[in-house]
A and B are shown apart, each in its own frame.
Chain A
Amino acid sequence: MNKNKIAIVLGIVCTILTIAIVIQINTIKRTSSTVSGSSSELKDEVLKWKEKYDNAAINLENAKEELSNIRESSSKNDETASAKEREITLNNNLLGFTNLEGKGIELTVKDDPNAKSENIAPYDDISLHIVHDGDLRSIVNELKNAGAEAISINEQRIVTTTAITCIGNVIKINDEKVSSPFIIKAIGFPESLESALNRGGGYLERLNEAGIETTIKKLNKVQITKYNGVINSKYMKNIQ
């Protein structure tokens, strides 16, 4: 047997083998960062479900895109249809089903970094030093009052059905868990949004007094992602 031939075949086989090993290592590295723990069967199960969920989400995304393409192409040569199409787009923008960008602000709210049990005075309450669901609700309220057209907190779009609630040590928005630091993006007139938040006696001032860190950036282009869920209507009916 020719020795060169053997060497080449062994080299090719080793290439295939190393590719497989590196892919495996990368996959394990990627997935084990999502779920950590030692109960391997539960971990397996969780990872498999997560994968199914991700696939379903991707499929949904593609289907939505296809639907909008079909709508666009069917209304291309028709005046009334394209007017309807514009109306639908506007309504979707208002409902939160589209990715938007525009002038606005980006507000970062972060738990007090100095709040540790050793440097908190005995009469001080540590819960004052962290951001609560109520704080976020008040901020969202303030932004809406100042004319914000679209708001998101940590990429969770605030839509008509959004609830901001507290579950233990994290906050739930749109049934997704979010935690500090909270990045609140709002599209609207930046000056009025900022002054509404920063006014004397306003909500941010109260948070700052408690040691919570807040920073406001006025931006010419804020990008707000769309709401990924579905808004159901089961009981409401139009009055004839």
Chain B
Amino acid sequence: MIFISIIIGCILGALIGINIPTIPYTYTKYLAIAIIAALDSVFGGITSTLKKNFDMKIFISGFFVNAILAMLLTYLGEKLNVDIYLAAVVVFVGRMFNNLGTIRRHYVEKITTRKIIAKAEATIKQANEQK
């Protein structure tokens, strides 16, 4: 259910995005950093859903506030002539990998448990037949 809605959202977003005019080049840096922050939030959201501690308020506020803060940091970095956005990229991408790792582990464990259960059931069946 969650993955279906994510896929539908992505397709819808792509269709809308193609038909929307592009933005001025000056703002591409900010949009890029906002995209990375938002991606991080989405992966965080998926992870917390899997862990069953999803909180709507935290998710939505994280999505917008992270993106805006990242853009503000980029702006500040531009004014100070320091590439602060690099720090934001490092943090967000690092967290993204952590979350991806959690998601991966969740599914791998799910599959292994399923396999073990199937094996156990098969042995029980065999044992019953031998009786």
Closest beta carbon of chain A to B126's beta carbon, Å = 38
Closest beta carbon of chain B to A37's beta carbon, Å = 15
In the complex, the answer to whether A21 meets B42 with C-beta atoms within 8 Å is: no
In the complex, the answer to whether A1 meets B16 with C-beta atoms within 8 Å is: no
A-B contact pairs, 28 of them (CB 8 A): A6-B56, A7-B1, A10-B5, A10-B42, A11-B5, A11-B8, A14-B42, A15-B9, A15-B16, A17-B42, A18-B12, A18-B14, A18-B17, A19-B16, A22-B16, A22-B18, A23-B17, A24-B31, A24-B35, A26-B17, A27-B22, A27-B23, A27-B28, A47-B25, A48-B25, A51-B24, A51-B25, A51-B26
Across the interface, which residues of B come within 8 angstroms of A18, CB to CB?
A: 9-14, 17
Q: Is the interface of A mostly helix, strand, loop or mixed?
A: helix
In the complex, the answer to whether B31 meets A16 with C-beta atoms within 8 Å is: no
* Residue positions of A touching B, CB distance < 8 A: 1, 3-24, 26-28, 30-31, 47-48, 51
Q: Is B123 an interface residue (CB 8 A)?
A: no
A5-B56, A13-B63 known; A20+B9 contact, CB < 8 A: no
Complex Cα distance A207/B101, Å? 69
* Residue positions of B touching A, CB distance < 8 A: 1-2, 4-6, 8-14, 16-18, 20, 22-26, 28, 31-32, 34-35, 38-39, 41-42, 45-46, 49, 54-56, 59-60, 63
In the complex, the answer to whether A11 meets B23 with C-beta atoms within 8 Å is: no
Q: Is the interface of B mostly helix, strand, loop or mixed?
A: helix
Across the interface, which residues of B come within 8 angstroms of A12, CB to CB?
A: 9
In the complex, the answer to whether A13 meets B31 with C-beta atoms within 8 Å is: no
Closest beta carbon of chain B to A68's beta carbon, Å = 27
In the complex, the answer to whether B22 meets A23 with C-beta atoms within 8 Å is: yes
In the complex, the answer to whether A26 meets B5 with C-beta atoms within 8 Å is: no
In the complex, the answer to whether A22 meets B14 with C-beta atoms within 8 Å is: yes
In the complex, the answer to whether A28 meets B17 with C-beta atoms within 8 Å is: no
Residue in A1, A19, A21, A51 whose beta carbon sits within 8 Å of that of B56 in the complex: A1
Closest beta carbon of chain A to B83's beta carbon, Å = 11
In the complex, the answer to whether A3 meets B17 with C-beta atoms within 8 Å is: no
In the complex, the answer to whether B26 meets A48 with C-beta atoms within 8 Å is: yes
A10-B45, A13-B63 known; A4+B1 contact, CB < 8 A: yes
Complex Cα distance A9/B31, Å? 21
Q: A10-B6, A18-B11, A19-B17 are in contact. List 10 more A-B contacts (CB 8 A).
A: A3-B2, A7-B5, A10-B5, A18-B13, A19-B13, A19-B14, A19-B20, A23-B23, A26-B17, A47-B25
- Closest Cβ neighbor of B6 among chain A residues: A14
A6-B54, A26-B18 known; A14+B10 contact, CB < 8 A: yes
Closest beta carbon of chain B to A13's beta carbon, Å = 6
In the complex, the answer to whether B25 meets A31 with C-beta atoms within 8 Å is: yes
Complex Cα distance A27/B31, Å? 11
In the complex, the answer to whether A14 meets B9 with C-beta atoms within 8 Å is: yes
Across the interface, which residues of A come within 8 angstroms of B31, CB to CB?
A: 20, 23-24, 27
Across the interface, which residues of B come within 8 angstroms of A26, CB to CB?
A: 17-18, 22
- Closest Cβ neighbor of A44 among chain B residues: B25
A4-B1, A24-B35 known; A14+B26 contact, CB < 8 A: no
A18-B10, A20-B35, A22-B17 known; A8+B5 contact, CB < 8 A: yes
